[in-house]
Structure 1
Amino acid sequence: MVTHFLFASALVLTVGHAAGWLARRLRQPYIVGQLAAGIALGPSLLGSAAPDVHALLFPEEIGASLRGLAQFALVVFLFAVGYELDLKVLGSRARTAVGVALTAFLVPMAVGSGCALLFREQLVALDMPRLTAGTVVFAGVALSITAVPVLTAIVRENGLAGTVPGVLAVSAAGLLDVIGWTVLSGTLLEHGDGQELPWQWRALLAAGFVALTLAAARPLLRRLLWRTRMEPMFRLSLLIGFAFVTASVTQYLGLHAICGALLAGVVCPREKGGTLDPDLLRPLQDISSLLLPFFFVVSGQAVALGAVNGTGWAAFAVVTVLAVVTKTGGGTVAARLGGLDRDDARTVGVLLSARGLTELIALDAGLRAGLLSAPLYTVLVLMALATTLLTQPLLILVRRGAGRAPLRPPPPAPHGSGGPPCATTSEGTTAAPGP
């Protein structure tokens, strides 16, 4: 099994990053290639074309090890996302960004939840046993998510980093993340681990744990790790350990590990003046970017294209159209009401339609919590892939239709990074954003 695991790991890393590189050459986000590679290595493609080869490369005995690496990469990635999250970037357009974020969340949320109630019979055909309040809310969340890392990369690659629509879209997406993860956390409370405790007790314990972490963790970490002039690698290991502890607590309480990882990143102390610590940020992004293909492969193992019937493909078409229309439409209208001209407002709306990795993380949590059936999970993963693929072409159409300057081609990746190009954060530090 050690031999199987090592060879499978080599295959996952090589194919995942090669596919990401190819996607970037085709002017698509890195995640698109990695997600496609994960699906290709799963039972739907490799398993159907060469079942014996798939069984040899990915025997069931190494499944737990692959899932462990996937969760490790996910926690480190979300810890870095929480550490980078800075709502001060809103600046003078805070009111507009809040309006865009709320609209771009509530409109898809209402449409998604309404469709779950309206098409309950069709959901039964996708192996959904019954509708609960959790599944209805989760359907809305699945349409409401925007992927900040993917959006940030698209903004930079298209020369929009210093423009009003670029800054507004990134700011609104950061707020959307906060709103989306909060609603998702509440949805997951009735599901997941810790089922020996009633959900009311878990909700109370979760609220107390979050409040205690927000109030006490940052000053305690600053006193222990910053003022002692600790060696950077030792400090990094302790902070990652802290992220895993908070992730394990929220996982037990039913909030999923992703919530604890984000919380740990948010409370992690920054440097003086609020700047990000490059000795902490760069290793976090390098580690997560290197290992994220394991998450895509584990997610791809649950994608079953053969199990999607005619109803499923019809649902995919409808969900994809609704996902694009509600996001772009809601974001455009809210940005227009916030004072942007028509073309900049459309740019904001299109940018907010990118879902990417954030959508996959939420769908994985929903599948493990029993809020999604396998066919519906497959439909929504394909929707995430399609909406991310459509973002760049739609952005080109909007900018060209407005008579704006041609979009710049993506810059080459920095030497030795092996991943996406660097992006400048709101604090001015340079960091690779990951897929």
Structure 2
Amino acid sequence: MSPDETVMHILLATALILVIAHAAGWAAQRLKQPYIVGQLTAGIALGPSLLGSVWPGGHDVLFPTEIDTALTGFAQLALVVFLFAVGYELDLKVLGDRARSAVAVAAASFVVPMAVGSGCALLFQDQLRGLGMPELSVAQVVFAGVALSITAVPVLTAIVRENDMSRTVSGVVAVSAAGLLDVLGWTVLAGALLGSDNGEQELNWWWRALLSAGFITLMLLGARPVLRRLLWRTRMEPSLRLALLTSFAVGSAVVTHALGLHVIFGALLAGVVTPREEDGTLDPDLLRALHTVSHLLVPFFFVVSGKAVALGSLDGAGWAVLAVVTVLAVTTKIGSGTAAARLSGLGHRDAWTIGILMSTRGLTELIALNAGYQAGLLSRPLYTVLVFMALATTLLTQPLLLLVHRLTGHPDNALPPPPDRPRPPHTDQDGAPATPAADVG
């Protein structure tokens, strides 16, 4: 294929991906489902498993191997921008008076699924071998627990807002607990990836761990004050600030990738160390731009991830594993989250609502699965099982919420209104950007 033909294929594939993925996301929202459900479904549909079976050879015509590198590059850029925004928005100060409940829910919602996932990996090694998994390593066992314990903060936040729960006890505790759980999950996932050995790393894991710790320290103690002086003491125009900080996130992602982690960790770390405005608020212009860029590009990640989904690799035993994994993923999250919320003093309705919200997975789960698959911690059939588990648990969140609300029949406890305070320009009454892009996580 000539360079001109390659460029034309890239342009045509880009148009197809953007239109189909965003149309599917729009359709999902009309069905009262998160935007990601439609985009993830579109990504799987455009992969070789579905498109290739309906139109033999069609996937190769629309997505020839010569453009794989370009699509992967777009996907990685989307992840960097998305996770940079996630890290920038992360603020554990929102715990407030509900810190005890949020910490209890986060701990239970992480430890119980983590223990169940790792335990099942050890107990059912024969069944996992049937899905193409080799003899299990410590990193693979840990990753199995992480895959079951993840909660997607962005899609959880979107569901809370869409259900008018932003000022309720259950909504605040769930969002706060999910933020804490994210910190735990990404930390353990980083350890699992450092401990993996896919034959591509030249450094031993302990060297990589030491260098990673040094890089994190440098970012926290060195990069943060430098950025604070640069951003606070100069009146940088929004476009230049966006370019500077995006480049900073990309550079951080390159470093963590070189250390044997994934680009996601560098991007997330860059967002965490980026200082807020001097009054402690988020920069609305920066956040709006980050949301717009990630919202536009994230379909490339779904398509690249969908290429690794192999429906044909699942036989009857594989579908049985999918059913078991989905049941475990739902019950461990809802059960542990609900129990922790009740033990911390919350009512039945609030506790059940929090448990259901903690079972929400989405783009965050898919990012972790993709990182594990690239590191050799997952076989292709098991990756397929876990992708469909992520889709199923995300689909179940809204119906389960409606069921609980109908059965309990009384409203959530609303938090007292916040004290009057000046808001930064271009934000709504909750302090969020006035015109945020549709949530994708």
| Shorter-chain TM band | over 0.9
Q: Which of 213, 217, 227 is the matching residue for 2:223?
A: 217
Alignment of 1:25-174 (within 5 A): 25-174=30-179
Further displaced range: 359-368 or 216-225: 216-225
Asked if the contact 2:195–2:205 (Cα under 8 Å) also holds between the matched residues in 1, the reply is: yes
Tell me the amino acid that sits aligned with residue 71 of structure 2. Answer: L
- Per-residue CA shift, 1:245-290, capped at 9, x if unaligned? 1111111111211011000001111112210001110000000000
Aligned match of 1:289 in 277, 286, 295? 295
Distance in 1 separating the partners of 2:363 and 2:305: 11
Q: CA offset at residue 432 of structure 1?
A: 3.5
* CA distance in 1: counterparts of 2:312 and 2:74, whole angstroms: 27
Counterpart residue identity of residue 77, structure 1: F
Structure 1 position 340 matched with structure 2 position 346: yes
> Which of the numbers 234, 238, 242 marks the counterpart of 1:232?
238
Percent identical:
68
Q: TM-score, normalised by structure 2?
A: 0.93
1:42-90 alpha-carbon deviations (Å, 9 max, x no partner)? 0111011112221110000001100000000010000000000010110
Question: What is the identity, as a one-letter code, of the residue corresponding to 2:104?
Answer: G
* Structure 2 partner of 1:400: 406
Answer whether contact 2:288 2:433 (CA < 8 A) is retained: no
Tell me the equivalent position of 2:203. Answer: 197
Secondary structure (helix, strand or coil) at the match of 2:345 reads coil
Q: Cα gap change, 1:97/1:3 in structure 2, threshold over 3 Å: closer, same or farther?
A: same
Paired letter, 2:265: C
Report deviation, 1:223. 1.2
- How many residues are matched? 420
Which segment is superposed worse, 49-58 or 106-115? Answer: 49-58
Aligned residue for 1:217, secondary structure, equals: helix
What is the distance in 1 between the residues matched to 2:220 and 2:429? 23
Deviation track 1:119-162 (CA, whole Å, cap 9, x = no partner) reads: 00000000001100000000000000000010001001111111
- Check conservation: 1:156, 1:423, Cα contact below 8 A: no
Which 4+ stretches in 1 moved above 4 angstroms?
A: 422-429
Q: How far is 1:116 from its partner?
A: 0.1
Distance 1:433 1:339, change over 3 A: farther
Q: 347, 368, 376: which is aligned to 2:374?
A: 368
Aligned partner of 1:418 in structure 2 is none
Structure 2 counterpart of 1:99, one-letter code: A
- What per-residue deviation string (whole Å, max 9, x for no partner) do you get for residues 69-122 of structure 1? 000001000000000001011001112111100100000000000000000000
1:331 is aligned to: 337
Please say if 1:11 is aligned against 2:11: no
Q: Structure 1: how far apart are the matches of 2:428 and 2:325? A: 34
2:3 equivalent in structure 1: none
Does the Cα contact within 8 Å between 1:90 and 1:97 map onto a contact in 2?
Answer: yes
Distance 1:42 1:208, change over 3 A: same
Q: Does structure 2 conserve the Cα–Cα contact (< 8 Å) formed by 1:117 and 1:136? A: yes
RMSD of the TM alignment (CA)? 1.6
Distance 1:140 1:21, change over 3 A: same
- Residue 349 of structure 1, CA deviation: 0.1
- Separation of aligned partners in 2, 1:284 and 1:433: 12
Structure 1 residues 347, 312: CA separation in 2 closer, same or farther (over 3 Å shift)? same
Moved more, 142-151 or 183-192: 183-192
Give yes or no for contact 1:193–1:253 (8 Å, CA) kept in 2: no
Matched residue type, 2:208: R
Q: Unpaired segments of 5 or more residues in structure 1?
A: 407-421
| Structure 2 residues not aligned, in runs of 5+ | 1-5, 413-425
Taking the aligned partners of 1:229 and 1:193, their CA distance within structure 2 comes to: 47
What TM-score, normalized by structure 1, do the two folds share? 0.94
* Native 8 Å contact 2:287 2:433 kept in 1: no
Give the Cα–Cα distance (whole angstroms) in 2 for the partners of residues 92 and 264 of structure 1: 29
Shift of 1:212: 1.3
- CA distance in 2 between partners of 1:188 and 1:81 (Å): 20
Q: Distance in 2 between matches of 1:262 and 1:238?
A: 16
Could you tell me how far apart the structure 2 residues matched to 1:188 and 1:429 are? 35
CA distance in 2, matches of 1:76, 1:351: 25
Q: Distance in 1 between matches of 2:210 and 2:22?
A: 42
Partner of 2:314: 308
SS of equivalent to 2:275: coil
Contact 2:330 2:359 in 1 (8 A): yes
Tell me if the contact between 1:320 and 1:383 (Cα under 8 Å) persists in the aligned partners: yes
- Label 1:65 to 1:378 Cα distance change in 2 as closer, same or farther (>3 A): same
1:43 and 1:390 map into 2 onto residues whose CA distance is 26
Tell me how far 1:225 sits from its aligned partner: 3.0
Give the match for residue 423 of structure 2.
none
| CA drift at 1:426 | 6.5
* Letter of the structure 2 residue corresponding to residue 90 of structure 1: L
Tell me if the contact between 1:304 and 1:378 (Cα under 8 Å) persists in the aligned partners: yes
From the superposition, tell whether residues 311 and 424 of structure 1 become closer, same or farther in structure 2 (CA, over 3 Å): farther
